[in-house]
Amino acid sequence: MKKTLKVQEAFTGTTNRRSFLKISGLAMAGTGLLLAGCNDDDNDSQIDNNNQMPGIRNGVFDFGGGDIGILTYAYALEQLGANFYTRVVNGNTFGSMFNDDEQGILADLYNHEVMHREVLKQTINTAVNNNQQQLLPNLDFEYSGLNFNDRNQVLNTAKQLKDTGVAAYNGAGKYLQDAANLVLAGKIVSVEARHASVIRSLINPNDAFFSAPDVVDPATGKNDAKNPSQVLNEVNDMGFIRTDFTSNYLS
């Protein structure tokens, strides 16, 4: 019981939550970059075990299958996350909508999303021997239905993206065969879950909303998990990604 109380006390304030996010993000980045530099033997084994490689099929980029397909799928989600937070922190009303501590939190989330995107890009590039035809290109985004000058819209969109992202990593882990890739995904999702929690705390401070039943099953204490097809349908419904792609080898 004392341990639980100490954890709750340690992250009561916004500033303390921000410090925890900063530390966890830096730890993830260091681990991810280390895993991205695995040796050639591991890369060859991983490629041989994949059913399909990512690349253009019938004029549209397909994520492919196997480990690299899952990493490419995650890379697409991280591109979206990084682009969204880039828009948030560079918005004209960012400073007036959020206080100093909140701005610091959202800036940390932006930095983490960029780290995630770049670590996944480097990992995929290493796995495909820098064959750019097998690397998902930079996606185009549009937010015509989202008002970045509206605090509630920004935070609720952030919540939707974060909850979807955590469920995506949780659901994709079972498809990863390479232990290094599984560890990398685990490192990223642990940070994403902290992001999801802090965003919910910004929406409903001093409330149990950070672990509400819609994301954490009260019977099992487990976070939500969704298969790639479920996640991609949800992301498609958001309407933010304008670049066409397919995921014919992911279920």
The CATH number linked to 93 is: 1.20.1260.10
Cα separations (Å) of 219 from 125, 203, 213?
Answer: 41, 25, 9
Average of pLDDT values for 37-48? Answer: 39
pLDDT at residue number 41: 41
Average of pLDDT values for 97-113? Answer: 98
For the cut 90, the answer to whether the pLDDT of residue 2 exceeds it is no
Q: Which residues pair with 141 in a beta bridge?
A: 241
Average of pLDDT values for 148-171? Answer: 97
Query: Is pLDDT larger for residue 95 or for residue 43?
Result: 95
What Rg, from alpha-carbon coordinates, does the chain have?
18
User: 69 and 58 in contact (C-beta within 8 Å)?
Assistant: no
pLDDT at residue number 70: 98
Residue 59 binned pLDDT confidence (cut-offs 50, 70, 90): very high
pLDDT at residue number 206: 75
For the cut 90, the answer to whether the pLDDT of residue 14 exceeds it is no
For the cut 90, the answer to whether the pLDDT of residue 39 exceeds it is no
Q: What's the mean per-residue pLDDT of the chain?
A: 84
* 232 belongs to a structural domain: yes
* 24 belongs to a structural domain: no
Average of pLDDT values for 217-234? Answer: 91
For the cut 70, the answer to whether the pLDDT of residue 49 exceeds it is no
Among the listed ranges 25-29, 58-62, 147-151, 172-176, which one has the minimum average pLDDT value?
A: 25-29
d(CA 68, CA 222): 26
pLDDT at residue number 221: 80
* 181 belongs to a structural domain: yes
Per the structure, the count of domains in the chain is 1
* 27 belongs to a structural domain: no
pLDDT at residue number 113: 98
* 21 belongs to a structural domain: no
User: 227 and 171 in contact (C-beta within 8 Å)?
Assistant: yes
* 59 belongs to a structural domain: no
For the cut 90, the answer to whether the pLDDT of residue 65 exceeds it is yes
* 160 belongs to a structural domain: yes
Percent of the chain that is helix, strand, coil (3-state, to 5): 65, 5, 30
Domain span including residue 183: 65-246
Average of pLDDT values for 201-222? Answer: 81
User: 139 and 241 in contact (C-beta within 8 Å)?
Assistant: yes
For the cut 80, the answer to whether the pLDDT of residue 17 exceeds it is no
pLDDT at residue number 217: 80
pLDDT at residue number 18: 55
Residue 251 is encoded by which pair of tokens?
């279920």
DSSP result, 180-206: HHHHHHHHHHHHHHHHHHHHHHHHSTT
* 212 belongs to a structural domain: yes
Query: Is pLDDT larger for residue 140 or for residue 46?
Result: 140
